[in-house]
Structure 1
Amino acid sequence: MARKRGFFAELQHQQMLQERERQRQLKQAAKEAEQAARARERALAQEAREQRELHVKQQQDEAAAYTVAAQDRMNELGRVLVDGLRHRGVFSFRQMRRSFRPRPFEAPSALATPARQPRWERYAPPPPSGVGRLFKGTHNRAIEQAKASFARDMALYQHSEHERLTALAAAEARHRQGEESRRQEVEQHNAQVDDLEKRVMAGLPEAVEDYFELLIERSPLPADLPVDVEVAYQPDSKKLLMIRELPGVDVIPQNREYTYVKSRDEIVAKPRLVKEIKQAYANLVAQIVLRTMRDVFEVRPSELVDEVAVNAHVSTRNRATGKPERPCLVSVSATRKQFEELVLTELDPAECLKYFNALVSPHPWDLEAVRPIFDPDLSKYRLVDAHDVAAGLDGRPVLLEMKPFEFEVLVKQLFEAMGMKSWVTQASRDDGLDAIAVNEDPIMGGVCVIQAKRYKGTVEPDAVRALAGVMDDKRASRGVLVTTSRFGKASHDFVARHGRIQLSEGPHLKHLLSEYLNLDVLLGPLSGR
């Protein structure tokens, strides 16, 4: 049997047990705190891993989205011509007109529903019962208080309802006013379309030019592609001359694909091959030109235009001087009959331009210009058809005394009378005329370069050799050099070797003017140039 401890020993023993328990609890608390801390660390680490994984996934998705967007853009730019066949756009007066459809009035939600009207039944106190019947005064006072509350709430309701109805009537009035304004706007627009149609059908060149500019610019194109065009109309030949704005090469996506590099935490772009960018841009330029011509021939009435010529320019800055410039990258002409023979969904745009004997920049991505087949200053052509030089000459006019513009138009009329079509002039570096025309003769036909020199003396052989160079540049099948004077032996020898150049001297020019225009002229004095 254990010895019983004394009081003091027992007290010390109990204190020792309490201290052990306290130490045990402290150790347990520390252990639990350590476990909780580890759990928090694990949770934070898991959250961090999940955040990193989410970030990586987001970056990978973003890179994939950039890649898809770049490919979609390339596909879109590669379908400019074909997609244009699916979207007919606005190509007639009928489609230009608007229709007015009245829109019903829809009351604002705050005004549509009236507030709940007060009803006496909700205010009237219940009739007295039992002992209450003995105290009629109390019931009567309750009724009076209820009537006062009912009257106050009814007045508020009526005031609120009056304001609501007033605001609703004002909203309806504004709606009617807006609808009337919209109707008048539609009627005014349609009246303008009617007026434009009358002027276009009357053959007024300015109206035809406005009509085509409006419709061609509204033809839908992918975003960031310019829609600006400028036109000149020649009613006698039913020919439309167009200046078309092109995008720069930067419209082609410069990167092929994007990838996320985890070690650098960075989205890295893989550049598109330079060759691919050049090919895509050249193809886009060809598509835009053909799309423009197609849109012209889609305009109704179709009798307005038999032929369209397009100069396609790009606005840029000269890298050497910093000055703005607009090099011409494509210059082409085609008749409606020629264009209707195309299968636009199957052809190669670049090859099609070759088929039309177009002048195409050999390096459009470098903005290397070609000499356009007609002067970009369209104001010159707006005057040509209104000025009939041959009809205005009487007596025996002297060719060397004619103004340059009059001489240009006279030569134009002569060769058109001889069967040349698609006549377009270019700036000449001397006192003469440079022009590109099409001879529709089935044997001797094709693109023809025509140069006319108002000389008094012998034309130098360099002029003949220069014509041969222009013919090569324009891919012309024939060249004609006309002068008011004569050519030397060296020029005739060069022509004999070349085989595709025809020289026409002063007497022959005089004969041609007499035969085709019934015009008797003097060449002019022969002393000096």
Structure 2
Amino acid sequence: MGRRSGFEGFLRATARAVAAAERERQRDIRAQLTQARQIERHQRMALAQQNRDDRAAQKLAKAQYLADRQGEADDLNAELQDRLEELQGILAHTLSLDDRIDFDALRPAADFEAFKPPPELEPGRAPRAPQISPPSGLRKLIPGAAKKHAAALARAASDHQSDVARFNQAEATKREQFAKLKADYDQRKSQFEMEVTRRDAEVDEFQTAYRAKEPDAVVAYNEMVLARSEYPTEGFPQKFRIAYSPDSSELIVEYDLPEVQTIPKEAEYRYVKTKDTIESKARKPAEIKQLYQDIVASIALRTLHELFEADQADALALVTFNGMVDTHDPASGREVRVPVVSVRAPKTEFLGLRLEKVDKVACLRNLGAQVSNRPDELQAVKPIVEFDMVDKRFIEQGDALSGLETRPNLMDLTPADFEVLVSNLFSKMGLDTKLTRSSRDGGVDAVAFDTRPVLGGKVVIQAKRYRDTVGVSAVRDLYGTMLNEGANKGILVCTSGYGPDAYNFSKDKPIELIDGGGLLYLLREHAGTAARIVV
């Protein structure tokens, strides 16, 4: 648990930091090029505007004015072409890159800045004693010359003593400041070296765990791979979830795709001289559909390529990619999460592809992918592997229904057997139901999945084999669990009944309360079991 916590702290923080730094560097390069083009473009447009405003006064030639206006349309078309090339080059962009993570790049810089005290703290030179020559020649004959010389020597000695005292005090102050700065420097250097040692140890531990194919390390490593992948900034959420099944060496990725609105609606711009306006021509719906299908397929193939190419530990035999569009249903306005592509690719087969030559959609279909014919209209496909079904909490349910005939009284069941019974029941009712481990279930006894597109979703189920009335606190707990699990619905099943507060709390929420009578009815209708509840 400690190692996992360390990964979840340092590794994910490192993944974000490394990915953010790489994205920032790439963005800076693109931003500089874009800014240069924009500055030049804006300068031309500003000049064109000035020419239009001043053409009467300046008697600007009409030909030059028309050329400037046409230049504006050309600039808009150039921007449009840049955007299309960026969208169409999503797959090609990654083929020339090495997607493997360099573990040494995760280590902090080992060099610490040298100690450089400020110049004003450099040791000074002690004041020198003044040299006063005694009177010589005829000056010695002047009355009082010897006394004046002696007095001058005494004053000079006194002044020099004061200068030396001030100098020594200033030097002592500088030495004190120097020592303080040096002590602060040594402390910071020591902390830096300790941090370097700690980070190096964490990187070594992470690398060792990844090479050993430990699931948490494999997930963290592949999160880094995808997090640092550079996509166009506009419209690409770059959100994903990753799960790993060590038994089959399969990585499951649920990836958020851009919406169709990321494709420019304009096909081209043209300058209309008779109106002195720049007008746009709309892109054909068929072209938008084709471009969007290409983007969806490109992201799927690119993700598979990046993960397989980066697989230094040979931990991945299979990768399943589910591409999701997180948007609003135009018919209802509700938020929907629609799968539009799902593919499971074996590593050996995928690495044999020449991705620079393939037809992307045809390549996916050849891999056995489910690909939406109209992703632009949110036409859903059934995922090959449901991401939420890959959960370490899930365990084998067993079969409590078949043994119920020998114990028709539900109160004779243990709490664990009762949870199995409820899970079996919802499986009979057509839901894909998974029972969770009681030691780490977080309040969830079972997770069910309604696989219907749009209307379906994740359901959390809690089972209470209670003798007494179930209060509102249990319903509140279920609602909190729903929010934590990201579920569409919650179901609470009990062998007794619910108080009025429980019904009042759940009436405006996607929560269904099934009491003992309702449970017996469902067992009779869907499992053919005439059970009883006898306290």
* Partner residue in 2 for 1:244: 255
Tell me, yes or no, if structure 1 residue 114 matches structure 2 residue 122: yes
Give the direction of change, closer, same or farther, for the CA distance of 1:264–1:337 in structure 2 (3 Å limit): same
Tell me, yes or no, if structure 1 residue 174 matches structure 2 residue 177: no
Indicate which of 292, 304, 323 corresponds to 2:303: 292
Question: 2 CA distance for matches of 1:385 and 1:349?
Answer: 35
Indicate which of 213, 219, 222 corresponds to 1:209: 219
CA contact (8 A) 1:118 1:150 kept: no
List gaps (5 residues or longer) in structure 2: 1-53, 59-64, 404-420, 434-447, 454-526, 529-535
* Partner residue in 1 for 2:168: 158
Deviation of 1:310 (Å): 0.8
CA contact (8 A) 1:90 1:215 kept: yes
Q: Which amino acid aligns with 1:85?
A: L
* Partner residue in 2 for 1:102: 111
Note the 1:310-459 alignment, pairs <5 A. 310-366=321-377, 368-374=378-384, 376=386, 378-382=387-391, 387=396, 427-428=450-451
TM-score (norm 1): 0.53
Give the direction of change, closer, same or farther, for the CA distance of 1:289–1:149 in structure 2 (3 Å limit): farther
Give the direction of change, closer, same or farther, for the CA distance of 1:429–1:372 in structure 2 (3 Å limit): closer
* Partner residue in 1 for 2:504: none
Q: Percent identity?
A: 27
Note the 1:117-156 alignment, pairs <5 A. 117-120=125-128, 124=131, 133=140, 134=142, 135-156=145-166
Question: Aligned with 2:244: secondary structure?
Answer: strand
Q: Deviations over 1:388-429 (max 9, x none)?
A: 979xx99xxxxx99666699999xxxxxxxxxxxxxx98556
Question: 2 CA distance for matches of 1:380 and 1:77?
Answer: 32
Deviation of 1:343 (Å): 1.2
Q: Which amino acid aligns with 1:318?
A: D
Deviation of 1:211 (Å): 3.5
Note the 1:464-483 alignment, pairs <5 A. none
Note the 1:24-39 alignment, pairs <5 A. none
Give the direction of change, closer, same or farther, for the CA distance of 1:189–1:141 in structure 2 (3 Å limit): same
Q: Which amino acid aligns with 1:101?
A: A
Deviation of 1:208 (Å): 3.3
CA contact (8 A) 1:102 1:179 kept: no
Q: Which amino acid aligns with 1:349?
A: K
Question: 2 CA distance for matches of 1:286 and 1:323?
Answer: 26
Tell me, yes or no, if structure 1 residue 223 matches structure 2 residue 233: yes
* Partner residue in 1 for 2:317: 306
Deviation of 1:321 (Å): 4.2
Question: 2 CA distance for matches of 1:144 and 1:252?
Answer: 93
Give the direction of change, closer, same or farther, for the CA distance of 1:162–1:187 in structure 2 (3 Å limit): same
Question: Aligned with 1:308: secondary structure?
Answer: strand
Give the direction of change, closer, same or farther, for the CA distance of 1:197–1:327 in structure 2 (3 Å limit): same
Q: Deviations over 1:273-295 (max 9, x none)?
A: 35665554433332222111112
Question: 2 CA distance for matches of 1:156 and 1:62?
Answer: 73
Larger Rg: 1
Indicate which of 201, 218, 235 corresponds to 1:191: 201
CA contact (8 A) 2:372 2:381 kept: no
Q: Deviations over 1:274-330 (max 9, x none)?
A: 566555443333222211111221233453211111111133233454433222232
Indicate which of 293, 300, 313 corresponds to 1:282: 293
Q: Which amino acid aligns with 2:349?
A: Q
Deviation of 1:364 (Å): 3.3
Q: Which amino acid aligns with 1:107?
A: K
CA contact (8 A) 1:89 1:220 kept: no
CA contact (8 A) 1:283 1:349 kept: yes
Give the direction of change, closer, same or farther, for the CA distance of 1:171–1:81 in structure 2 (3 Å limit): farther
Give the direction of change, closer, same or farther, for the CA distance of 1:328–1:171 in structure 2 (3 Å limit): farther
Q: Which amino acid aligns with 2:97?
A: H
Question: 1 CA distance for matches of 2:112 and 2:276?
Answer: 54
Give the direction of change, closer, same or farther, for the CA distance of 1:176–1:116 in structure 2 (3 Å limit): closer
Tell me, yes or no, if structure 1 residue 86 matches structure 2 residue 96: yes
Deviation of 1:352 (Å): 2.5
CA contact (8 A) 1:107 1:171 kept: no
Question: Aligned with 2:391: secondary structure?
Answer: helix
Question: 1 CA distance for matches of 2:159 and 2:272?
Answer: 75
Q: Which amino acid aligns with 2:128?
A: W
Q: Which amino acid aligns with 2:180?
A: A
Give the direction of change, closer, same or farther, for the CA distance of 1:201–1:404 in structure 2 (3 Å limit): farther
CA contact (8 A) 2:253 2:321 kept: yes
Give the direction of change, closer, same or farther, for the CA distance of 1:180–1:283 in structure 2 (3 Å limit): farther
Deviation of 1:240 (Å): 1.6
Question: 2 CA distance for matches of 1:95 and 1:298?
Answer: 18
Question: Aligned with 1:120: secondary structure?
Answer: coil
Q: Which amino acid aligns with 2:311?
A: R
Deviation of 1:204 (Å): 4.9
* Partner residue in 2 for 1:488: none
List gaps (5 residues or longer) in structure 1: 1-44, 50-55, 395-399, 411-424, 431-523
Q: Which amino acid aligns with 1:114?
A: E
CA contact (8 A) 1:315 1:327 kept: yes
Note the 1:249-288 alignment, pairs <5 A. 249-252=260-263, 273=283, 279-288=290-299
Question: 2 CA distance for matches of 1:409 and 1:263?
Answer: 65
Q: Deviations over 1:196-228 (max 9, x none)?
A: 455556655445334433432233444353332
